[in-house]
Amino acid sequence: MLRSIQHVENQLSQSCRHISTTSTLCKNRAGKTKSTTNRTQLLTYEMAQKPHHLGVRKSWLTWHSQNLEEFRQSQPLVVAQDEVVRRFIRGFFPQNLIVSGNEIVIKRRGNVLIVAGFLQYSRRLDIRRIYWMFGFAEEFLSILLKQPVKLELAFVESEKDVAYNYI
């Protein structure tokens, strides 16, 4: 009994609150991935370039003209459309994504919305199944967004095919 009370007292003295007295270091963490000791972290070209290289070494993942002055009203619509498309692809092809669906490019040509990019297959894929999924996705998105949607996704063997660097 006595020992346990002593133990508890020790613990109580050790567990006390502290106040930090140094200034916070608001380090910039955007676009930085943690490196590993044995260089297993895969980096695609996208991930390897920092955000300030946008427009210089990296192009855009979405292309639309609604950032111009005349299209102010339709700009948020297009942003929402993009988000819908990306979430749908991510949810509909769960095993086939590369880096949680970051390698999807959305283009617009007139009325048509084109989704391009890369999906992976680790095992041998069922071609018919993939065709059906593509057709369903196109039909579904077209009805949802009220404009023709075309999928021009390409398949790569595995994530290693889009690897730019390992850190």
Contacts with other proteins by CB under 8 A lie at: 44-46, 49, 57-61, 63-66, 71, 74, 77-78, 103, 105, 107-111, 114, 116-118, 124, 127, 146-147, 152, 154, 156, 161-162, 164
Structural tokens at position 150:
């075309």
| Residue 146 Rama label (left phi>0; alpha psi -120 to 50; beta) | left
The smaller minimum CB distance to other proteins, of residues 71 and 140, is found at: 71
Structural tokens at position 100:
């949680």
The smaller minimum CB distance to other proteins, of residues 8 and 143, is found at: 143
CA distance 164 to 101: 17
The smaller minimum CB distance to other proteins, of residues 41 and 102, is found at: 102
Least distance to other proteins, CB of residue 53, Å: 8
Structural tokens at position 33:
């991935």
Least distance to other proteins, CB of residue 87, Å: 19
Least distance to other proteins, CB of residue 8, Å: 58
Q: How far is CA 136 from CA 68, 88, 112, 127, 144, in A?
A: 33, 12, 17, 14, 12
Lookup result for tokens 């102010």:
72
Orientation angle between helical segments 75-92 and 127-145, nearest 10 degrees: 160
The smaller minimum CB distance to other proteins, of residues 39 and 146, is found at: 146
The smaller minimum CB distance to other proteins, of residues 92 and 150, is found at: 150
Least distance to other proteins, CB of residue 116, Å: 4
